Amino acid sequence: MHIRRHVAGLAVTTLVAGVATAVTAVAASPAGAAPGTCDLHNGVKHVIEIVFDNVHFFRDNPNVPSDLEQMPNLLNFLENNGTVFSNSHTPMIAHTADDSLSIYTGLYGDRHGQPLTNTYNTYNPDGTTDTATSFAYWTSPVADTHFGGPTAGHDTTPSMTYSATVPASGTPNKITPAPWVPFTRAGCSVGNFSTANMVLENTNPDIPTVFGANSPEAQQTAADPDSHKNIETAQYIGEAIHCAQGDAICADSSRPVADNLPTEPGGYNGYQAVFGAKYVAPQLVAADGPQVADANGNLVDLNGNTLVEPFSGTPGFPGFNPTAAQSLAVLADMQEAGIPVTYGYISDTHDMKPGYGPCTSPGKALGPGDACSVAALHDYDTAFGQWLQRLSDDGITPANTEFMISAEENDQFAGANSVGRSTAPTPANCDGVTVACNYTSSQDGELQANIKGLLSTTASSGAQYDVQPQGASIYVHGQPAADDPTVRQLERDTAAMTNMTSNPYVNYSGVPNEKIVKYQAGALEQRVLHMQTNDPLRTPTYSLFPMPDYFFSTSGPNVSFNNGFAYDHGYYSPNIDITWAALVGPGVVNHGVDGPDATGGNESQDPNSTHTVPEASTQGTWVEEADLRPTLMYLTGLSDDYQSDGEVISQALTSPGAALAGTAELAAAYQQINSSVGAFATDTLIADSNALASGSMSDDSRYANEQLTLLDLANHRDMVAADIKATLARAALGISPGHGELRSELAQARALLRQAATLRAHA
């Protein structure tokens, strides 16, 4: 075994950026477990959670093996030792930040504060908006990215603003409970590599928030003339260890800081953390075992290559686009250093990466079966083989480790496909593995739609608004009400936007009139989709969900082809909102694949996304990404200090118990009324799309009537969902509901589904 523990030391002085700094000791909290213990349930000694970005279980092209099929070392491990749920669903909007945070917390974005995309806008006092990044450290304020500096009076609420209720309510002054807390309270330190918001994401505001506004790290960052702060990124961003009380990992560190969570339920005092490669790497380096670091003490990947920041070449964090060999190496380093709980993130292989070529796609984006994508996936597969063997040599196996591995989204390939598309890669029999797939400059890319250009000849040409382009959330200046005439006209006009040229992937018999927007969600429907937080300054006026071949912009031709990108996310589409999640470990049943196999996904059969998500989700257990957190807590015998929006996946358990087994039908009904892409949300979204497109300045009765019904349904849904998720949470504790309670909640859920279907039929 290569696992080793550090021995606690007494030194409390460190040299940071040439400045001697006294590190204040943090008082122990009686709530924490004893130092050196990690008390988990069911024989679990280790927890490893990995989130992929846009790595597909299903095939995009029916002839080309999927991403996971091209990683047999990983796929076979998951199928042979646990269960792969191929009918897993994202929240809305489906993108990295929202999805990852829902996986980590078990909360939808309306409660964890980041429901939109990787960025969002916030209203200023003058009615304009600033853009902020969704990627900010857990306790940081809104990370405003406005060019030239934030607008005066900009939003400064917590980035991860928390609501205990749905609909989100209360003053936005609390921070979402942190995912590492149950583990550290149980005596288990938690390591993170490139994981959303559990590490420092930005030099500002994250470094001042964590290290202090006057800290040497903050002073160094401010003094660096490089606007990108690449050196500070290498040293302080992307890596973190949240320590159990008394753990030598933090006690021995040259720079531990207080792990401050000021609004954590139940309090969180006396805990420390270490942030950044500069301080994390020394805690992972040891003399025995596999190569962890180079001769200078810098961490290396699984192949012995030093991890460096790519733009400056500075040793340290390699950026938020890590390969499998990079992330897996650090996760193994952490486990071997005695950090029993580790979270990691791995990027996809759908864009060109350094070191591969020549590619068979002409642009940056790589189509299915492209030679560079296949080569990168081969390297990923090799990395997983090395990593799993290394863990096994360490005694970290499915017998004592909970593995939770998933992909946060399943982007649609906007490009040539051999089924349902008028063009296809060549040669016709290409599978990528034995015969590379070649793409022309018009086959591999997305359609870029300029909203302002498309609206320039409409009644909304003079409207003032800002756009978040993933899907497309519209922020009308002045933050007008949902029924404001300007808003209503804008909704009609965006619903009518048409591609007057052509979609190169679809044969419309020469009729260039494809509607660009497929669905729209007004303010009230955004609440149904869990997109409304308790911070009203960040709520969009309304949101668009286009045909998945399109990406919105505010400049350029009305519609143009862009082969810089070809994988679209953020939309309502089964080709995006259905992904996969896998569990392996003690208490997890070995079912192989629960749901369609790799050839049974929607995109290879329906690349134009003509089906709704429920229509494409008829096989296998319906899983929500929010379900992964409560399932992990159940398997490890821990609990969160808040009501999850997810439920324990009883189909993942070897012995679910009578209470969980007895509420399986109720859980399935709950998913359909509360999921962002379930039957209730789908039917109300279609109804709202129709209503928003209807009417005129003189007669808007259809919209008004739909809104009255939708409000009643939304209120009833939130009430019933709250009751059901409380029942399901009690079932996870072994408390079965009474027969009458169970039948009543089932009846209410089914009634809601009927009412939503009726609204869809008549709106």
Could you tell me which residues come within 8 angstroms of residue 462 by beta carbon, excluding any fewer than 6 positions away?
A: none
pLDDT at position 287, please? 58
Residue pair 676/612 in contact (Cβ under 8 Å)? The answer is: no
Residue pair 524/707 in contact (Cβ under 8 Å)? The answer is: yes
Residue pair 492/692 in contact (Cβ under 8 Å)? The answer is: yes
Cα gap 672→614, rounded to integer Å = 9
Residues 103-130: pLDDT tens digits?
999 999 999 999 998 999 999 999 999 9
pLDDT at position 743, please? 97
End-to-end CA distance of the chain: 64
Residues 23-65: pLDDT tens digits?
233 333 334 555 558 989 999 999 999 999 999 999 999 999 9
Cα gap 327→317, rounded to integer Å = 10
Could you tell me which residues come within 8 angstroms of residue 48 by beta carbon, excluding any fewer than 6 positions away?
A: 331, 335, 342, 344, 396, 401, 402, 403, 404
Cα gap 531→93, rounded to integer Å = 8
The closest alpha carbon to 328, from 250, 374, 384, belongs to 384
Can you list the residues of the chain whose pLDDT is less than 50?
Answer: 1-31
| Dmax (CA) of the chain | 78
Residue pair 299/162 in contact (Cβ under 8 Å)? The answer is: no
The closest alpha carbon to 277, from 243, 305, 253, belongs to 253
pLDDT at position 508, please? 53
pLDDT at position 70, please? 98
Cα gap 504→506, rounded to integer Å = 6
pLDDT at position 760, please? 98
Torsion angle of the four alpha carbons 564, 566, 571, 575, in this order, in degrees rounded to the nearest 10: -170
Please state the domain extents for the chain: 446-568, 658-763
3-state secondary structure of 342: strand
Cα gap 325→386, rounded to integer Å = 9
| DSSP assignment string, 558-594 | SEEEETT--EE-SSS-HHHHEEEEEEESTTB---EEE
Burial 133-162 (b: 16+ CB within 10 A, else e): bbbbbbbbbbbbebeeebbeebbebbbbbb
Residue pair 306/298 in contact (Cβ under 8 Å)? The answer is: yes
pTM over cut 0.85: yes
Residue pair 99/91 in contact (Cβ under 8 Å)? The answer is: yes
Show the CA angle centred on residue 611, arms to residues 606 and 617, nearest 5°.
95
> H helices within 626-678, ranges in order?
628-636, 657-662, 664-674
Q: Which two tokens stand for residue 504?
A: 């190169």
pLDDT at position 286, please? 73
Cα gap 506→509, rounded to integer Å = 9
Give me the residue label for tokens 């990295």.
96
3-state secondary structure of 518: strand
Could you tell me which residues come within 8 angstroms of residue 743 by beta carbon, excluding any fewer than 6 positions away?
A: none
SS (H, E, C) 147-182: CCCCCCCCCCCECCECCCCCCCCCCCCCECCCCCHH
Cα gap 299→283, rounded to integer Å = 11
Cα gap 334→285, rounded to integer Å = 9
